[in-house]
Amino acid sequence: MPLTRWILQYSSLLMNLLFMAYLWLLQPLFLARLSATPEPNQRDWLAGLLLLLVPLFELVGIFLKRPVSAYLSIHYPRKEWSSWGFLIFLFTAMFHMAAAVMLVIIAFSPLQIGFDEKTSAGLQTLMFVVFMLTLFKEAFFIVFIFPSSTSSLFQYLYQNKVMNDQDRALLRWLDLRPPQQITLGCALRNLLGEICILVSSALLYTGLWEFILGQNPVDTRWPGVLSEYLGVSIFFLMVFLTVRAVGALEGLSIQSTPAQQRWSLISGAAIWLVTLLTLPRR
């Protein structure tokens, strides 16, 4: 169907355009909320909980996308990885895990929860549990992002073991078989997954941006402005690749058309320009 094909081909471009709109319109509002100095014992539950929900949004998005991702990885696999692809894989996986841990710290800041004498033992225990759950989630992130590898993993784990009912239920839940063909329903489910991942990416991006750069304005005096924008551009590349890890890692295992690659580069460059244009200046 033309609509199904259009959704699959241009969903990445649509997500980049929505991400660009978020940076331009909504991120300044969220940044102002994160950077505000809270009153004693006054917690910003909305900002804190939104950041804590980032891993959940991401996991839901990955599971929604898995049928289409599994289909594409089987029917349109990327034959081999280049050395650059392997470096991107290592970089993205490591920085995604580091970003997830940093996000927990950032999320508890507006909630005024930390490992200090001002926080009760119960809340400190809760913070520790969230840290462990975040690391546990990251341990499965790479496996789930490559749907075609999940079946091989389970075959290896259970090759010399008789599976019980719980094992079979877990296998059915995790080892999702690809559909025979991609229907409009599959494409819409994939689009909904893209939106969930977009929400998690946007919140993670804003959290990291505030944590590292804060509201420090760019010095526009010549020639220092060149080094300012160069540093921001390098940081943008690192953070953008980290928060869009799902798309980056999928691109290593699934072929993309020249049009998709071209529009991805153009929209990515546009996001970079929007980032530079929305920086505070002095």
Q: What mean pLDDT is reported for the chain?
A: 75
What mean pLDDT comes out for the span 65-94?
74
pLDDT tens-digit series, residues 90-99:
777 777 788 8
On whether residue 22 sits in a domain, the answer given is: yes
On whether residue 41 sits in a domain, the answer given is: yes
> By mean pLDDT, which of 8-12, 107-111, 276-280 is the weakest?
276-280
**Number of domains within the chain:** 1
pLDDT tens-digit series, residues 193-202:
889 988 988 8
What mean pLDDT comes out for the span 124-148?
71
On whether residue 56 sits in a domain, the answer given is: yes
Q: Which residue has the higher pLDDT, 127 or 36?
A: 127
- pLDDT value, residue 195: 92
On whether residue 231 sits in a domain, the answer given is: yes
On whether residue 258 sits in a domain, the answer given is: yes
On whether residue 39 sits in a domain, the answer given is: yes
What mean pLDDT comes out for the span 162-186?
68
What mean pLDDT comes out for the span 133-141?
74
* pLDDT of 29 over the 80 cut: yes
Q: At what angle do helices 121-145 and 147-157 cross, to 10 degrees?
A: 100
What mean pLDDT comes out for the span 184-189?
86
Residue numbers of the domain that contains 119: 2-277
On whether residue 282 sits in a domain, the answer given is: no
What mean pLDDT comes out for the span 184-191?
87
% of the chain exceeding 90 in pLDDT? 1
